[in-house]
């Protein structure tokens, strides 16, 4: 059942059966995890303090650590009830049940400070000190050391005591001292860590260059990959990987069955999920643990709805409360009303709560907290004695103000603005205007202020007085401080202190103007010249400078809106633009500007350079998602250009495909910075790189090959299906002038000796082709090419010496008119003679040839002879029976 149908079912249940409750079988209750930090996949939690302790999760038994570890990552569960403890210059293997302690005989100051991996089967431990990886036995004996060559490599332990290494694009099996024993596979990108999943016999690999879940299967030596951005908190359970991912600002809980490729996910974006040992918990309650399977049925969100029909809740009216619980898998379950509890946050205003019904009993805002089990939902409910009130949209800076309320009701209306106002009589604007008006018998009220509204003034209406709370106060802006983008017949041409505010309209049009600065306002009308130009550079009573705001509209169009031009610079803004958008892998940027000032360049908010030269080259290539900011100053103004570096879709094409029976060599053209992967029948394969444009993959005729080139989050794919055919092996000797075989279907087939074409033909739809050519000397090198579009098959062979012919024949009787001769060659001339008399002669075109002749007497001696084009012969004497 999909989520929409389920949601409709929930609504119907709540309407017709409000007594239905969240049933125990519909959701999972958590297990209680003791306070502390779960140690790996062990049955213990670690508690800090003095002394530090281990607490058994099931029994609650406590065990005091024999040495201090200080932090969780310095204690490691071996897997058989023992732990490795890392103290200050001291390492120890400890069994809390038996109390046994074994101190590692590693010298103090050796630098080892982090356990990377533990393999119980091999009784080995892998350590690191950022300069080398050291393998020791669990008893502390050093078995080998591998120097760290790069931060982008990972190591783990194998059951046979050797080391698995992910280094420089290769997966290798090594000795503890680093000698390579076997290369298992290859990879692309930068590996920063690897974890072994013992039950699956798989390694989960962290790749810094990808949002893909990468899994290396030790059984098949193949890579498994799945798009999983920001995968975290991974757990393996009964053949399924569980983890969380993050995409488009939303967290999803995921299960992934590698064997069936089943992928399941559910958004849980407004909670924070963490892993505690083999459990998942919500950050609000880290003691409530769920198994990976049961987490799908964990309640994670409480929704409460208190429906109302008016703007505010009314005092004394009873409201029905509806509650639902959402599980992680998206299931929505109704909550029985009496299962909810209600309280107020730091308030004691009176309210009634009974069987899902809420009554608010005073004029007040109620910060209400609804709870069900460990979940809560806060609602801010404002109750008042309700009186209807509406305000018509103000008609601009000229008024009037009108609206509707209850009949014959007093309404307090005010207009306010901020800023100092000159007292000069020419200034018609006011700081504050207000009046109490009464609605008529229909509830309509209207007020016309006596003077001009200042642009940006705010209109406020309330019932009765300024302090009344019996209806929602309404507040609107008469003219917005930001410029109105609607057309009003006037175009802004210039906008600076130097050039002034220049407007373009129709010739001689009257323009209504309001000027505003921090010192006051002026209003007037002015006429455009014969070209429709009007320029404003000074006023009578206020200073014209940066920060001055000019509102303007045509006087003949009272219904149109004022538009805003705010003077932000002393000089007109320069031309300041990107000449090239920054892309991933770029090392330089370039902008152009019409002012001669130094550029300040920032990368992810960090200042990296001040320079006058463009283009600017960074120390390292740009990465996807980085923010590049370039600023330039002109006078008191600063101009900025900001771009987020984005990936680009790479180019990709396959120009040639060389096919053999077991592999295909692809020649590709791609963006040089793109990484490339190859898939055969939708499985990722390891490709042998022959050059930057040629790769060999294990594919046979008929397979589907897919090539994927990626640049960051962008990728392009090309798919091709190799022609299905059986490729014959080229074999030619010095006797042959004909070759029949199978090549690429519908291809053009050419046989060459050096640059000389010996034969050419067109293969059939099944790939069958016949080539006829002149016989060639022994040891001559011949090449066969079969090409159809971008698909190509090539073979080379040296001409061999033809075999010595053989003959087998039937014995004719005195009545026989034919005999059948069989040879090991399909060429040459076959003759039948009696003494010097020629009885029959025939050119051989097959290994079996029939000769016709006149019947011979019994006992007649006949000679059968086969001679090849190169003069090789065989003779057989037969007697007529």
- pTM for the full predicted model: 0.47
CA distance 55 to 36: 8
Residues 6+ apart with CB under 8 A from 547: 517, 518, 566, 567, 568
pLDDT at residue 634, as a whole number: 73
Residues 6+ apart with CB under 8 A from 346: 367
Report pLDDT digits (tens) over 460-503. 777 765 545 455 556 665 544 445 556 678 888 888 888 889 99
Nearest to 87 by CA among 63, 67, 102: 67
Residue 813 burial by CB count (10 A; 0-12/13-18/19+): exposed, middle or buried?
A: exposed
pLDDT at residue 533, as a whole number: 94
End-to-end CA distance of the chain: 90
pLDDT at residue 156, as a whole number: 94
Structure tokens at 448: 């016309």
CA distance 85 to 89: 11
Residue 132, CA distances (Å) to 94, 152, 181 in order = 26, 13, 19
**Is residue 459 within 8 Å of 473, Cβ to Cβ?**
no
pLDDT at residue 420, as a whole number: 39
Q: Which residue, chain included where needed, has tokens 């000074």?
A: 538
Size of the chain in residues: 881
pLDDT at residue 428, as a whole number: 40
pLDDT at residue 86, as a whole number: 85
User: Checking phi first, is residue 70 left (phi over 0); if not, alpha (psi -120 to 50) or beta?
Assistant: left
Ranges of the chain with pLDDT below 70 = 1-25, 105-113, 311, 346-349, 394-399, 417-431, 450-457, 464-487, 518-521, 558-561, 635-636
Structure tokens at 534: 């009007």
3-state secondary structure of 75: strand
CA distance 496 to 465: 45
pLDDT at residue 350, as a whole number: 74
Instruction: State the greatest distance between any 2 C-alpha atoms of the chain, in Å, as a whole number.
Output: 153
pLDDT at residue 25, as a whole number: 59
Residue 564, CA distances (Å) to 514, 516, 548, 559 in order = 9, 10, 10, 16
pLDDT at residue 2, as a whole number: 37
CA distance 390 to 478: 16
Other CB atoms within 10 A of residue 675 CB = 17
pLDDT at residue 486, as a whole number: 60
**Is residue 204 within 8 Å of 170, Cβ to Cβ?**
no
Report pLDDT digits (tens) over 171-195. 999 999 999 999 999 998 888 889 9
CA distance 872 to 804: 6
How many CA atoms within 13 Å lie on the side-chain side of 807? 28
The beta strand positions in 175-298, using DSSP E, are: 180-186, 191-197, 202-207, 212-217, 222-227, 232-237, 240-247, 250-257, 262-267, 273-276, 279-282, 285-290
| 81 φ/ψ angles, rounded to the nearest 5 degrees | 95, -10
């Amino acid at each position: 059942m999909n989520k929409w149908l389920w949601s409709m079912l929930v609504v119907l249940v709540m309407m017709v059966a409000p007594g239905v409750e969240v049933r125990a079988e519909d959701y999972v209750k958590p297990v209680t995890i003791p306070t502390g930090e779960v140690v790996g996949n062990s049955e213990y939690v670690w508690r800090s303090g003095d002394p530090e302790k281990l607490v058994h999760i099931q029994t609650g038994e406590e065990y005091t650590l024999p040495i201090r570890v200080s932090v969780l990552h310095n204690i490691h569960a071996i897997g058989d009830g023992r732990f490795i403890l890392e103290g200050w210059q001291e390492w120890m293997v400890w069994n809390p049940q038996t109390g046994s302690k074994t101190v590692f005989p590693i010298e103090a100051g050796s630098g080892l400070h982090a356990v990377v991996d533990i393999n119980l089967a091999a009784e080995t431990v892998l350590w690191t000190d950022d300069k080398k990886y050291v393998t020791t036995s669990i008893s502390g004996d050093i078995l080998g050391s591998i120097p760290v060559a790069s931060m982008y490599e990972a190591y783990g332990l194998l059951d046979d005591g050797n080391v698995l290494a992910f280094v420089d694009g290769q997966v290798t099996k090594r000795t503890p001292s680093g000698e390579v024993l076997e290369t298992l596979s290859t990879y692309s990108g930068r590996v920063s860590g690897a974890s072994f999943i013992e039950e699956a016999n798989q390694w989960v690999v962290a790749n810094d260059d990808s949002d893909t879940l990468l899994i290396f299967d030790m059984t098949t030596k193949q890579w498994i990959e799945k798009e999983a951005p920001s995968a975290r908190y991974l757990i393996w359970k009964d053949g399924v990987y569980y983890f969380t991912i993050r995409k488009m600002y939303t967290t999803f809980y995921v299960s992934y069955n590698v064997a069936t490729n089943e992928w399941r996910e559910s958004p849980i974006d407004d909670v924070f999920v963490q892993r505690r040992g083999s459990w998942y918990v919500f950050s609000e309650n880290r003691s409530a643990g769920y198994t990976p399977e049961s987490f799908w049925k964990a309640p994670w969100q409480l929704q409460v709805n208190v429906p109302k029909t008016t703007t505010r809740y009314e005092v004394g009216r009873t409201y029905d409360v509806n509650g639902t619980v959402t599980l992680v898998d998206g299931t929505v379950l109704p909550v029985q009303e009496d299962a909810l509890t209600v309280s107020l946050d730091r308030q004691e205003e009176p309210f009634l709560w009974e069987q899902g019904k809420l009554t608010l009993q005073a004029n007040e805002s109620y910060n209400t907290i609804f709870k069900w089990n460990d979940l809560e939902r806060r609602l801010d409910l404002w109750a008042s004695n309700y009186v209807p009130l509406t305000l018509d949209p103000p008609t601009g800076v000229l008024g009037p103000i009108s609206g509707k309320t209850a009949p014959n009701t007093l309404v307090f209306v005010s207009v306010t603005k901020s800023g100092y106002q000159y007292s000069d009589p020419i200034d018609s604007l006011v700081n504050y205007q207000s009046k109490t008006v009464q609605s008529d018998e229909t509830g309509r009220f209207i007020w016309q202020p006596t003077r001009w509204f200042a642009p940006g003034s705010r209109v406020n209406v309330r019932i009765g007085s300024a302090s009344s709370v019996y209806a929602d106060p309404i507040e609107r802006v008469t003219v917005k401080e930001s410029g109105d983008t609607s057309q009003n017949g006037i175009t802004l041409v210039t906008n600076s202190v130097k050039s002034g505010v220049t407007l373009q309209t129709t010739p001689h049009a009257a323009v209504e103007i309001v000027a505003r600065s921090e010192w006051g306002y002026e209003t007037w009308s002015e006429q455009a010249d014969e070209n429709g130009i009007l320029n404003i550079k000074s006023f009578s009573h206020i200073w014209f400078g940066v920060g001055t705001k000019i509102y303007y509209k045509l006087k003949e169009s009272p219904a149109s809106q004022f538009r805003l031009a705010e003077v932000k610079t002393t000089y007109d803004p320069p031309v300041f633009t990107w000449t090239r958008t920054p892309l991933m892998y770029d090392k330089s940027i370039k902008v152009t500007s019409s002012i001669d000032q130094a550029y300040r360049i920032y990368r992810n908010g960090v200042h990296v350079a001040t320079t006058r030269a463009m283009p600017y080259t960074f120390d390292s290539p740009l990465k996807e998602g980085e923010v590049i900011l370039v600023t330039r100053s002109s006078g008191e103004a600063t101009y900025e250009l900001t771009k987020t570096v984005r990936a680009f879709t790479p180019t990709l094409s396959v120009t040639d495909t060389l096919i053999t029976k077991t592999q295909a060599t692809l020649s590709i053209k791609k963006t040089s910075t793109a990484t490339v992967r190859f898939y055969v029948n939708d499985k990722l394969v390891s490709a042998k790189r022959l050059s930057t444009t040629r790769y060999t993959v294990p594919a046979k005729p008929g397979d589907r090959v897919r090539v994927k080139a990626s640049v960051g989050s962008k990728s392009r794919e090309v798919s091709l299906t190799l022609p299905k055919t059986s490729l014959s092996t080229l074999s030619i000797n010095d006797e042959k002038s004909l070759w029949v075989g199978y090549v690429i279907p519908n291809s053009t087939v050419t046989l060459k000796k050096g640059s000389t074409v010996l034969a050419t033909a067109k293969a059939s739809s099944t790939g069958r082709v016949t080539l006829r050519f002149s016989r060639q000397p022994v040891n001559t090198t011949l090449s066969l090419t079969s090409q159809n579009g971008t698909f190509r098959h090539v073979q080379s062979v040296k001409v061999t010496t033809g075999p010595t012919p053989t003959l087998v024949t039937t014995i004719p009787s005195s009545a026989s008119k034919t005999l059948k001769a069989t040879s090991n060659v399909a060429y040459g001339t076959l003759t039948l003679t009696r003494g010097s008399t020629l009885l029959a002669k025939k050119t051989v075109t097959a290994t079996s040839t029939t000769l016709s002749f006149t019947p011979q007497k019994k006992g007649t001696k006949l000679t059968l002879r086969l001679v090849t084009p190169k003069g090789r012969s065989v003779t057989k004497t037969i007697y007529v029976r």
